[in-house]
Structure 1
Amino acid sequence: MASANPWKQAFNAHVQTLACPTFAFATATAPQTGGIAAPHVRTLAFRGFYAELPFNKYNPVSSNTGFKSDLIAFTTDKRTEKFRDLGGVEGVAASSLPTITNIVEACFWVPSDQNPAVGKQWRIRGRCFVLPRDLDTEDKGVKETKKWLIEKISRNGGGDGSDFDFAKEYKAHFGNLSPVLRGSFRNPLPGTPKELGDGGLAPKRPIGDDQLDEAVALSHFRVAVIEPTRIEYLDLEGRTKTAWVPVGGDAEKDEQLENLGKVDGAWREVELWT
């Protein structure tokens, strides 16, 4: 079951001040035979914590209510290079890949109202998983992913995510996008040169709120989550820096933090030099 943590409230308060909450998303693909590892950084839209989809009055699909998790959510097209950089695998099976492909870092910048040159920075490192579209099948990998998610979700007031409606959440995330962005999921393959043609998928008009069952777009659309394994908060105004790592986790051991700072729930909090 997901547990309360000491950083989430402050993080939420800061991100909610942003007119458009985005973050830099860094991946590092494993080197191919004869090649080198290639870092990639992208700007993505923060879609809230998984199971806590923000309210959108234009979204005709209601999301689950009364649940929470610590999983950072974003959406993606499974045809993109980003999906390949994450191992090209849907679900938690990606964690078994003998590479670093699904270890990522998200960086949020929250500028000061008084001076946009300074502000607050949140860096969230963790494992990233692209969730299967249908989490109610009998496929072994899908069932493993669903089990993992249920353990990460908790119900407000007590309980786990065993009665969470995953199909509803998938559709609500799609409905939360703008019509133009929804339509992009049925366009030609992202990132390919236009001179090569449209591959039979001519660009189409936006997908309106009454067209949320568009099969081609939904087949490409995916929700992805980041499971935080290290949080770092830098306040350039107050000149403070704090890190949180899960108690007993790899980050705590790798950074030799076992006997430092203080323990708050499942997290160890350590003050750092700026």
Structure 2
Amino acid sequence: MSSPPPAAPWRNLFVSHLESMESPEFTLSTLRRASAANARDRRPSVLAAPLYFPRARTCICRGLWADLAVNPKNDAPLNPSGLWESDLLTFTTDARMEKMEELWESGIDLDLRVGRGTDPSSPTTGKVGEELWEEGLARMKGKTTTEEAVKSTKEKLKGSGGGATVEAVFWAGKPGVQWRVRGRAYVLAPDIESSPEGREVVALLKSRMRRLASSADVHGTKEKKEWSFAREITAHFGNLSPAMRGSFRNPPPGRPVSLPVEGEGLALGQKVTDLEDPVARANFRVVVIVPDGLDQADLSDPEHPRRWIYTYVGGRGRNEWETVEVWP
């Protein structure tokens, strides 16, 4: 077996800084598409109106993909260790969170989002870019109304996919280093190995993973246990405490408490011990960030701060990074 490509030059230091943090928290920044009403009300000109609004929230990093630090109380079936590793960051989330929509990249042509009709006889005259975007989305999906397009989007968000641009910002206080990780986020759902979208995500992530050994090398020729994406998702679920697993049986996040809770068995304060709990697992997601750039700012020495920019330049099975030291 040929030697695997080298790890990213920042990997070991980044992991050591994660391990130095009391809680591996980071700020996840995304972009949320503005509604047509917001675009119309905020600015008189659609060309000046912001089409996207920035969003940020605190998340917990669950380590690097294929390198899960297993909780001793985790009784989930685990993938064989020593087969794969990666430089890809992970976190877990609820499929019902608002940020889920922000993790999907839209394939709609940009012109549909910034165009505005000027012909008085045109049905698009006076419509802001977001309304045109919705109509374009409906046409691309073979729909005729915005309502139908929204329904289709909700179905899409139940499965694997994503690909939106994100930034994750870490502050490692003890070493005094800030890390800014820029890349694309991919959502891993229960259909990761069964749907076309899931298999596409698997292929993409595997292109940025490193195979360290074959299953025969790890287990011998008699037992060959292949590494499974679905098994790794279950291992991430098992790594959570029963109370944290129970949070995926909470009422829908963001829903007004004055409204009735739709869905059987949804309530606060539940504990889940069943690794295949149908409600919790339907809402549980692992998100993998594929980095294409990192910004490392070492502020440990106030008199001599330093900063490095790492840019991914690999491809076709390579894992090459360009490193440039810049002024902080």
Of 216, 226, 244, the match for 2:279: 216
SS in 2 for 1:38: strand
* 1:203 matched to 2:267: yes
Aligned residue in 2 for 1:255: none
Query: Against the structure 1 CA distance between its residues 152 and 226, is the aligned structure 2 distance closer, same or farther, given a 3 Å change threshold?
Result: same
The offset of 1:248, in angstroms, is 6.5
Instruction: Write the distance in 1 (CA, Å) between the matches of 2:68 and 2:325.
Output: 31
Instruction: Write the distance in 2 (CA, Å) between the matches of 1:28 and 1:204.
Output: 29
Q: Which amino acid aligns with 1:30?
A: R
Q: Which amino acid aligns with 1:268?
A: E
- Larger Rg: 1 or 2? 2
SS in 1 for 2:15: helix
How many pairs were matched up?
Answer: 244
Aligned residue in 2 for 1:99: none
Aligned residue in 2 for 1:271: 325
Of 237, 242, 245, the match for 2:311: 245
Instruction: Write the distance in 2 (CA, Å) between the matches of 1:105 and 1:169.
Output: 24
* 1:70 matched to 2:67: no
Of 165, 171, 176, the match for 2:234: 171
* 1:106 matched to 2:168: yes
Instruction: Write the distance in 1 (CA, Å) between the matches of 2:174 and 2:74.
Output: 31
Query: Against the structure 1 CA distance between its residues 181 and 171, is the aligned structure 2 distance closer, same or farther, given a 3 Å change threshold?
Result: same
Moved more, 264-273 or 39-48: 264-273
SS in 2 for 1:29: strand
Instruction: Write the distance in 2 (CA, Å) between the matches of 1:193 and 1:6.
Output: 46
SS in 2 for 1:185: helix
Give TM-score scaled by structure 1 length: 0.81
SS in 1 for 2:287: strand
Contact 1:53/1:63, CA 8 A, preserved across alignment: no
- Give structure 2 stretches of 5+ with no counterpart: 40-49, 105-152, 216-224
Q: Which amino acid aligns with 1:240?
A: R
Instruction: Write the distance in 2 (CA, Å) between the matches of 1:78 and 1:265.
Output: 31
CA RMSD in angstroms, aligned pairs only: 2.4
The offset of 1:31, in angstroms, is 3.5
Query: Could you report, residue by residue, the CA deviation over 1:200-220 in whole angstroms, capped at 9, with x for unpaired residues?
Result: 4441553343x2221011011
Query: Could you report, residue by residue, the CA deviation over 1:119-154 in whole angstroms, capped at 9, with x for unpaired residues?
Result: 1100000001111323221x3222212222222222
Of 38, 41, 54, the match for 2:69: 54
Query: Against the structure 1 CA distance between its residues 220 and 111, is the aligned structure 2 distance closer, same or farther, given a 3 Å change threshold?
Result: same
Q: What aligned pairs does 1:87-166 form with structure 2 within 5 A after superposition? A: 87=104, 89=157, 90-92=159-161, 94-95=162-163, 102-112=164-174, 119-137=176-194, 139-157=195-213, 163-166=226-229
SS in 2 for 1:194: coil
The offset of 1:106, in angstroms, is 0.4
Instruction: Write the distance in 2 (CA, Å) between the matches of 1:158 and 1:234.
Output: 38
The offset of 1:168, in angstroms, is 1.1
SS in 1 for 2:182: strand
* 1:18 matched to 2:74: no
Give TM-score scaled by structure 2 length: 0.68
Query: Against the structure 1 CA distance between its residues 2 and 207, is the aligned structure 2 distance closer, same or farther, given a 3 Å change threshold?
Result: farther
Instruction: Write the distance in 2 (CA, Å) between the matches of 1:248 and 1:167.
Output: 27
The offset of 1:30, in angstroms, is 3.3
SS in 1 for 2:171: strand
- Specify which structure has the higher proportion of helix: 2
* 1:39 matched to 2:95: no
Instruction: Write the distance in 1 (CA, Å) between the matches of 2:85 and 2:319.
Output: 16
